[in-house]
Amino acid sequence: MAVIRDVMPAFELYQPSSVADAQKLLEQHGSDAWVLAGGLDSFDWLKDRIRKPKAVVDLSGIEELRAVRTTADGIEIGAMTTLTEIVSHPLIKQKYDLLAQAAEVVASPQIRNQGTIGGNVSQDTRCWYYRGGWPCYRAGGNICYADTPEGRNREHAILHADRCVAVNPSDSAPALIALDAKFVVRTPKGERVVDAEDYFIGPDIDITRLHILQPGDLLTAIRIPSTWAGAQFYFEKVRDRNVWDFALMNVASAMVTSGDRIERIRIAVNGAAARPLRLKAVEDAVRGKPRNAATGEMAGKLAVQGAVPLQFNAYKIPLMRNLVKRAIGGVEEATWAS
Amino acid sequence: MGFLEWATSPWGQSVPIHIAWFLIWVAAIAGFLFLIVHAIWLRYFAKPKEFAGAASPEVSARIPKHVPRHSLVARLFHWIMAASMLTLLFTAFLPKVGVQFPWVTYHWIAGAVLTVSILFHVIHASFWLDFWSIWPDKIDLEDAWRRVRRFAGMSAPAPRKFAKYPLENKLFHGVIILCGLSVILTGVFMMFRVRTIFFPRNPYLFSNMTWGLMYVLHGLAGVGLIALVMMHVYFGLRPEKLSITKSMVFGWMDRDFYLQEHDPERWVVETPPSSSSSSPSTSNRVEGRGLTDAG
Amino acid sequence: MDNKKVVDTAKASDRQYGAGYKLIGKNYQTPDLYAKVTGNAKYAEDFRAEGMLFCKLLLSPMPHARVRRIHAHAALAMPGVKAILTADDLPAPADTLTDNGTVIKASKWGERGLTMEPLYQGEPILAVAAVDELTAAEAIEKIQIDFEPLPFVVDPLDTLRPGGPNPRTDGNVWTRPAATASQGPGAPAVTELKWTKADFEELKHGRLPLGKAPDEWSYGDLDSGFKNAALVLDETFVTPDTSHQTLETRSAMAYWQNGKVYIHTGTQSTAQTLPAIARWLNIDAEKVVFISEYTGGGFGSKITGGVSMIIPALLSKKTNAPVMMRISREEETFIGRARPGFQGRMKVGFSKEGRITALDMFVICDNGPYDAVGDGPSSGRIVSLLYQPQAMRWRGVTVMTNTPPRSAQSSPGGLQGIVLMEPVIAKAARRLGVDQVAIRRINCPEGKAPFGPLVQGKRQYATSAFLKEALDRGAEQFKWSERVARTPKRMGTKVRGVGVSLSCYVGGTIGFDGLLIIKPDGRITFQSGIGNLGTESVIDVHRAGAEVLGVPWEKCDVVWGNTTKNLPFTCVSGGSQTTHAMTRAAYATAMDAKKKLQEIAAKKLGGKPEQYEVANERVFRKGGGASMTLAQAAKYAIQLGGIYDGHEAPADVHKMTKASVAALAGQGLVAAAKDNYPRDGSTFSYVASFAEVEVDVETGKYYIVDFLASGDVGTVIHPRALGGQMLGRSTLGMGHAIGQKWVFDPHYGEMVSKRFHHSKPPTILDVPVDMQWTALDIPDPETPVGARGVGEPPVAGGCGSILNALSDALGDEIFQRAPVNADTILTSLEAGRPMQHPLMAHI
Amino acid sequence: MAEKAGSKISEDAPKAVSRRNFIKGVITSGVAVSSASYLFRASTVMHGQQFIAGVGERLITLNVNGQQRRVDVMKQETLASTLRYKLGLTGTKLGCDRAECGSCTVLIDDIPYYACSVLTHNVRGRKVLTIEGLASADGTLHPVQQGVIDEQGFQCAFCMSGFIMTTVGYLKTNSNPTRQELAHGISGCLCRCQDYDKILTALMRGAENMRRSKLG
């Protein structure tokens, strides 16, 4: 059977106006259903005709999912809040700027106008073999084409690879981990709140998904506690092109210092593994240390321990080392006065 | 629904990638049904076992209280194999039925252990144990035919007592060999597709089709093992087989059970001069002799 | 993270051009702009026709295979499916009859649009026409094809290895039979070439093997050049394959009416696409109507459109309905053409002042599976011109691979050759302690500079070159010395570097026709056969004609984009020839009109033609007296008939022009002329490009901080359009330095970089927000208006200046290939030496 | 499915209204045959979708360039397809159909979106503005369009309508941008002629024209 791309298959479209209705629809259609948030990841799958769901459940009409609310302890961001709304939200800018910084470098302005925070954290990997429709592990097959002797794997994982070497493409995910966000998941059994870092899973656990959502589950909101409000933040994304490019790697850290000592810190990187990695060992190692280049240096080296490069991605090791270093020790800004 | 999962290769060719996972349930249910049916049969319908002939009293007298059956090495092998097999089955199939954990590393390590232990067993059994004792012989086949006739209500002489291993045991071993070697052989090659300590990864060692068939074989043998292991465990736990099970734990078998089911002619047990103890060295020696006896 | 400007540069567009002219050198509003800006401009896919069917392509999943059998019953049985077109339905390739009557046999290796032996993954096998795209797509999914996989190769070096696979069943390289005494070199042929194991020893040292090369030329004494050199560098470098990625894909719509086929698709050259279609369809050119008013980019990929356009034409014939073929971006990636990547090696000898004493150049050109591209030979000629080595040898192999077909892309061969050369020059300057501008200044061409091989004791030469002036102007405007002297180079983790690159390419051809009518209402209509791909040469060149006739631009109309609109024989709009060739033709035509006006005035008002002048929309006797308006003259022309109103055409114009003249006859004063002006030398345009980059050595990320292109491009015709070309084409070149590439999985021979986020065409944030350009505006002495072409010349400079700025910042031990990205920079900095496989293709 | 074919409630206010029209999706039979079934199968052959006679939810009303347009829209249809192939608004271009080039950018409620990646059914009740709707009814160009004319912005212009619409949308959030800011604002549009410098100059001119026209 020949393959053809770029013609969207016919499907039935459901546009529920409440989460409960959406859940009912998902339950009703089971594995034939496809959840549509902003759609920027979904439409690739559909237009490529690799996935042909019978029922598409469009969440864009659910008002309750699209808001930034203040809570007793921080804020709650509806999963369908767009990245532009996050970038321009005054409270987020003021207290949780780390997330705004991350959201601002996602893809392109139009994509940020449409793409949602829920979609950004739940999107699938962009491994070019997998997305090209190759029957790899992640697609249910029995091979990783990127991790073969000739595989082209410049953008693939250096850590925690398990058969599959794809990486998570999200820019907001590490920021949310650094902010100690909680993800609110509505399952058929009820609501479940998980730590940001536990929302993501590697291929060792489930090789076909990047997150914990099972068919029928919905990510409804992301809660950011006030724990890190107004902390010192660092976000950096390294990419080839300055628009429309996924991170080769990114880093996010939230830090509270007293004097020059690091009192509390959370740090995460993405683009290194199939899930955004919270660097707990680094956090433990730098706590109580002065915030300076030497500490950053040490942290960077610690962060890349155990990294295994593939043929074309060895650069990710110094990249991760340096990004972690900068996230902790800072960057010396260069200003060439004329 | 097909028994195989197919995928379209990057070149647009249809290739099998593995078995359809519902076969896991087929195997489990089949295994379970077997043991239910068997248990019911045994409880309500089966006639008591009948064996032709009985050991002569002098032979019986010669038999020690504890008949040495499995050397420590053999038992160690069995239990290592059992542990690795169970690990393999659980790590293989639990994730497929929704219990998610990082299984691959455990799986290949257990696979490596199983492979090594089986290699050891093949060598050990070939050169140190009574190699032929586990294979059905002519009498087994004749007796099997007698049992079938008797089961069908036809007349046939009573089957004779067993040699060291009952026929079921031998048959089970045979099937296990088939499935075990299949998973091991395919599994060893499959290690080229994951990161292990053994070889550099090379997923392109074989063609897509060869790999696909290998995965299918691995899967089929694997689900086969689900049923087989269920049966094995079931039999191991059945009260009338406990003596056999115990022998795999302690190395020896009760004299009574031995005399009841086994034919001292076919399974010659040489009495150690001093005692009936089943120290490893002793039983080893006894079994070692068994080899020459069987020749 | 934004680009931070440090040195202020004057905005080039402030400069005034066109001194002494009314139209030439002045900005104006092109007549196609209003339609574009309101969304009313119709590109091929914007057309529709009653009862239109839609076709979709089935692409080969394999890089090289033979189609054994096509099972299409299920697809054909679907409601709504109208027809399937396979290679068996294609007409036999037609031979070409050249204008001088020579028959060029159709190549048996040529591309035909559909095939039964796909030579690259993504090559169309068949097309399905159906009532809508969804049905066509579902029909294709029901088709099964039995393929027999055949050997394939995606890296040129792999097929040159002993025993390496051949990309085509009959060979792996294009060779050109040697010229005989009576005839020039024959048509290129596919043959087999394998290098020896000994040749490949070089690869182990990261150097390009120098095996047998089918093409070779030289001049001068290479050996003594190297012997006398103060410094000899021997560098291997790889340039990327880059898709043209025109934003408009090669979608096409076709229908048949009264025995003629009407085709809508994008092209770079309206007039020249007509014969190409006739050849592909193997029908008479008179039976073809071609419409292409707007084209969404070409860059060399649509010189005469694409052969794929015959698919809807043939399906339309088969179904007796209009057929639209909408080409998707992914399909365009396969069939949309690309620049061939080079694997090259340059051994260069320098005197201690930096003068190039000897150059031994060796290139492998990754040609793809079809017709031979000229990039290899072109690279040698351009390098020989631009750097004027005292002695030079060029060797080249045009290797075939099972990768998508290549074609010319802005500065074909020029970019690759210059990009192989520039890093070597930069390195030499550092080694010799010579300034980067100075070393280029002493090597660059001047005046009638020679280029290419020595043939029968002679070398060809350029019409002119004022590159030294362009270099000086650029260096001054870029404040080169100031930037070089600035310290520190490094602050924190950021390092700055400046780079300069020379650049040039062919800037024009000669011998084409022009055609205009002065209508009885006094307006002038210029018939333009140039394609409208956005360079505006389709309109701009006619400003030269209006200038000659002294007619205000408001009184001028330009007709273009439709072969029924009576177009003259026009050059193909590629290779930067148009502005040069067609201003000449426009000039000649205006002179013809002027002559006719003078003659008409003399006939009507008495006296001799030369006593009359044409200006201010009038023909008048010199020194005052009798005169007539152009409107009157047009009416008289109709009365006079003959040569005046197009009932007779000049003998020397092309038959296409003659037919157009005949069709326009009687509508006014018809002027038509062939460009017969002499030209001493070959025309080239030149650019000196300057760039500054800022690299973060911890992330490998860099920004282009500033860029300036300074051009020696002849007379400036339309400054804004020129600026668009100078900077636009420079940026196309930059793309080669900063990210554009192909990535192939070599095991399956399949492209994995199918999306823009893989192949990385530059975005607006990848270039400085305030780029600069300037042009000398020195007329070329060998052409009437003095204008030269500019599309290609800036391209290589865009790439070369960035690469040189990067090596200025980071040193010579970072990269041996382009593009250069964070991965290259970080791994090499980490290791202290160039780390990427220097010669592996498509990584 | 109580809504009648073409009733306002079913088309334009589905989100505000409630469970009553939860599970929309059931589509029409042949009553709503589009006269312009262009790229999409005419309603007769819709496999995989249910048919309920007389209910016309596929026939919807869109607000495009200030006009109410009735149009038959497939469930999987993107806004770009509807605009180009059903409404004849071909000024919106498809350069990649994958949200990677920006040529299809239109404004939906004043915000720039890639029309190739928005389902048409999603813009019911929202205001869509395309390049064709930018100039005034009397033909006066929008200040941004005029800026492009003034500076001869763009070459092949295939990307032009996307750039212009993006600029118009961006200027609503920042009417007096620097070159750098505007470059960021329009960075979601790709120009393969790579005419970025001239485009930016033209669009800056457009922004200036706009500020002037507001003053005037």
Task: Give tens-digit pLDDT for C9-28.
Answer: 445 456 889 999 999 999 99
Residue C500: closest CA among C476, C471, C477, C473? C471
Binned at pLDDT 50, 70 and 90, residue C3 comes out as: very low
Q: Select from D17, D100, D105 the Cβ nearest to the Cβ of A244.
A: D100
Q: Which chains touch D (3 or more CB pairs under 8 A)?
A: A, C
The span from the CA of C6 to the CA of C479, in Å, is 11
What's the mean pLDDT in D115-141? 96
Interface of A with C in 213-252 (CB under 8 A): 236, 238, 240-246, 248
Backbone torsions φ then ψ of C136, nearest 5 degrees: -60, -40
Asked if residue D170 and residue D129 are part of one domain, the reply reads no
What's the mean pLDDT in D31-60? 45
Binned at pLDDT 50, 70 and 90, residue B272 comes out as: low
pLDDT of res. B103: 92
Q: Which of A45, A51, A110, A128 should we substitute to test contact with D (largest number of D Cβ atoms within 10 Å)? A: A110
Q: Are strands C53-59 and C323-325 parallel, antiparallel or unpaired?
A: parallel
Query: Given CB atoms, is C226 within the 8 Å cutoff of chain B?
Result: no
Report ipTM for this prediction: 0.94
What's the mean pLDDT in A50-71? 95
Cα–Cα distances in angstroms (integers) from residue C686 to residues C378, C788, C789, D211, in the given order? 15, 10, 10, 40
A42 in a structural domain: yes
Both structure tokens of B78? 């069995």
Residue C694: closest CA among C501, C833, C490, C832? C490
Range of the domain at D95: 8-133
Binned at pLDDT 50, 70 and 90, residue B56 comes out as: confident
C605 in a structural domain: yes
A30 in a structural domain: yes
Range of the domain at A38: 12-62
| β strands within C176-240, DSSP E | 189-191, 215-219, 231-238
pLDDT of res. B255: 82
Query: Given CB atoms, is A17 within the 8 Å cutoff of chain D?
Result: yes
**CATH number, domain with residue C259:** 3.90.1170.50
Binned at pLDDT 50, 70 and 90, residue C1 comes out as: very low
Query: Given CB atoms, is A242 within the 8 Å cutoff of chain D?
Result: yes
Task: Give the pLDDT confidence of B177-200 residue by residue, as tens digits.
Answer: 899 999 999 999 998 888 888 888
What's the mean pLDDT in C100-111? 84
Q: Which of C121, C479, C757 should we substitute to test contact with A (largest number of A Cβ atoms within 10 Å)? A: C757
Interface of A with C in 44-73 (CB under 8 A): 49
Which among C651, C674, C697 is the end of a domain? C674
Higher pLDDT, C537 or D6: C537
Q: Which residue of A has its CA nearest to C837?
A: A312
The span from the CA of C805 to the CA of C693, in Å, is 6
pLDDT of res. C39: 96
Asked if residue D126 and residue D147 are part of one domain, the reply reads no
**CATH number, domain with residue D179:** 1.10.150.120
Nearest chain C CA: its distance from B41 CA (Å): 53
Q: Which residue of A has its CA nearest to B94?
A: A205
The span from the CA of C32 to the CA of C533, in Å, is 11
Is pLDDT above 70 for C582?
A: yes
Task: Give the pLDDT confidence of D178-194 residue by residue, as tens digits.
Answer: 999 999 999 999 999 99
**B contacts of A48 (beta carbons < 8 Å):** none
What's the mean pLDDT in C138-149? 97
Contact present, C548 and C588 (Cβ < 8 Å): no
A84 in a structural domain: no
C523 in a structural domain: yes
- The label of the residue with tokens 């950053």 reads A296
Q: Which residue of D has its CA nearest to C267?
A: D156
CB-CB neighbours of D70 under 10 Å: 12
Asked if residue D101 and residue D26 are part of one domain, the reply reads yes
Could you tell me how many residues make up chain B?
295
D167 in a structural domain: yes
D126 in a structural domain: yes
Binned at pLDDT 50, 70 and 90, residue A195 comes out as: very high
Contact present, D121 and A15 (Cβ < 8 Å): yes
Binned at pLDDT 50, 70 and 90, residue A256 comes out as: very high
pLDDT of res. B146: 86
Nearest chain A CA: its distance from C333 CA (Å): 13
Number of domains composing chain A: 1
Query: Given CB atoms, is C329 within the 8 Å cutoff of chain D?
Result: yes
D1 in a structural domain: no
C613 in a structural domain: yes
How many helices (DSSP H) and strands (DSSP E) are in chain A? 13, 12
Asked if residue D128 and residue D76 are part of one domain, the reply reads yes
| H-assigned helices in C162-262 | 197-204, 222-227
C295 in a structural domain: yes
Q: Select from C133, C247, C764 the Cβ nearest to the Cβ of D156.
A: C247
Which among C674, C695, C714 is the end of a domain? C674
- β-pair partners for C277: none
Highest mean pLDDT among B230-244, C380-394, D52-66: C380-394
Is pLDDT above 80 for D33?
A: no
Higher pLDDT, D24 or C154: C154
Binned at pLDDT 50, 70 and 90, residue D36 comes out as: very low
Higher pLDDT, A136 or B163: A136
pLDDT of res. A222: 98
D138 in a structural domain: no
Asked if residue D192 and residue D158 are part of one domain, the reply reads yes
Which among C633, C648, C674 is the end of a domain? C674
Which among D110, D133, D156 is the end of a domain? D133
pLDDT of res. C6: 45
Query: Given CB atoms, is A18 within the 8 Å cutoff of chain D?
Result: yes
Task: Give the pLDDT confidence of B202-211 residue by residue, as tens digits.
Answer: 899 999 999 9
Both structure tokens of A325? 């270093």
**CATH number, domain with residue C520:** 3.30.365.10
Asked if residue D104 and residue D61 are part of one domain, the reply reads yes
Q: Select from B14, B101, B193 the Cβ nearest to the Cβ of A205.
A: B101
Contact present, A243 and C764 (Cβ < 8 Å): yes
Task: Give the pLDDT confidence of C411-462 residue by residue, as tens digits.
Answer: 999 999 999 999 999 999 999 999 999 999 999 999 999 999 999 999 999 9
Contact present, A31 and A213 (Cβ < 8 Å): no
**Helix D143-151 × helix D160-171 angle, to 10°:** 130
Q: Which of B11, B13, B205, B209 should we substitute to test contact with C (largest number of C Cβ atoms within 10 Å)? A: B11
Is pLDDT above 90 for D9?
A: no
What's the mean pLDDT in A169-197? 97
Range of the domain at C133: 44-150+252-325
**CATH number, domain with residue A34:** 3.30.43.10
Query: Given CB atoms, is B160 within the 8 Å cutoff of chain A?
Result: no
Task: Give the pLDDT confidence of C238-271 residue by residue, as tens digits.
Answer: 999 999 999 999 999 999 999 999 999 999 999 9
Query: Given CB atoms, is C147 within the 8 Å cutoff of chain B?
Result: yes
Q: Which of C154, C335, C698 should we substitute to test contact with A (largest number of A Cβ atoms within 10 Å)? A: C698
Binned at pLDDT 50, 70 and 90, residue A53 comes out as: very high
- β-pair partners for C506: C684
A19 in a structural domain: yes
Cβ distance of B11 and C747 shorter than 8 Å: no
C291 in a structural domain: yes
A24 in a structural domain: yes
pLDDT of res. C183: 62
Task: Give the pLDDT confidence of C206-227 residue by residue, as tens digits.
Answer: 999 999 999 999 999 999 999 9
Angle formed at CA C244 by CA C239 and CA C247, multiple of 5 degrees: 145
Nearest chain A CA: its distance from C430 CA (Å): 23
Nearest chain A CA: its distance from C698 CA (Å): 6
Interface of C with D in 117-156 (CB under 8 A): 131-135
Cβ distance of C723 and D94 shorter than 8 Å: no
Q: Select from D96, D131, D187 the Cβ nearest to the Cβ of C39.
A: D131
C538 in a structural domain: yes
Kindly give, in sequence order, each residue whose CB lies less than 8 Å from that of residue C117, ignoring residues fewer than 6 positions away.
Answer: C64, C65, C66, C67, C150, C169
Q: Which of D19, D38, D60, D75 should we substitute to test contact with A (largest number of A Cβ atoms within 10 Å)? A: D75
Asked if residue D175 and residue D123 are part of one domain, the reply reads no
Asked if residue D89 and residue D17 are part of one domain, the reply reads yes
Contact present, C285 and C254 (Cβ < 8 Å): no
C402 in a structural domain: no
Asked if residue D147 and residue D122 are part of one domain, the reply reads no
Query: What domains, with CATH codes, occur in chain B?
Result: 4-41+75-146+169-240 (1.20.950)
C285 in a structural domain: yes
Cβ distance of B100 and A206 shorter than 8 Å: yes
The span from the CA of A315 to the CA of C829, in Å, is 10
Burial of B131 (0-12, 13-18, 19+ CB in 10 A): middle
A289 in a structural domain: no
Query: Given CB atoms, is C34 within the 8 Å cutoff of chain D?
Result: yes
Cα–Cα distances in angstroms (integers) from residue C654 to residues C96, C100, C509, in the given order? 16, 11, 16
Check residue C237 and report its DSSP letter.
E
Which among D98, D115, D133 is the end of a domain? D133
Is pLDDT above 80 for D215?
A: no
What's the mean pLDDT in D54-75? 85
Number of domains composing chain D: 2
The span from the CA of C431 to the CA of C348, in Å, is 13
Is pLDDT above 60 for A212?
A: yes
Query: Given CB atoms, is B202 within the 8 Å cutoff of chain A?
Result: yes
pLDDT > 90 in chain D, percent: 71
Asked if residue D92 and residue D23 are part of one domain, the reply reads yes
Task: Give the pLDDT confidence of C289-298 residue by residue, as tens digits.
Answer: 999 999 999 9
pLDDT > 70 in chain C, percent: 97
Which among D133, D159, D180 is the end of a domain? D133
Contact present, C335 and C123 (Cβ < 8 Å): yes
pLDDT of res. C140: 97
pLDDT of res. D51: 36
D66 in a structural domain: yes
B and C: number of Cβ contacts within 8 A = 14
Binned at pLDDT 50, 70 and 90, residue D4 comes out as: very low
The span from the CA of C726 to the CA of A198, in Å, is 52
- The label of the residue with tokens 């002042």 reads C353
Asked if residue D166 and residue D189 are part of one domain, the reply reads yes
Nearest chain A CA: its distance from C50 CA (Å): 22
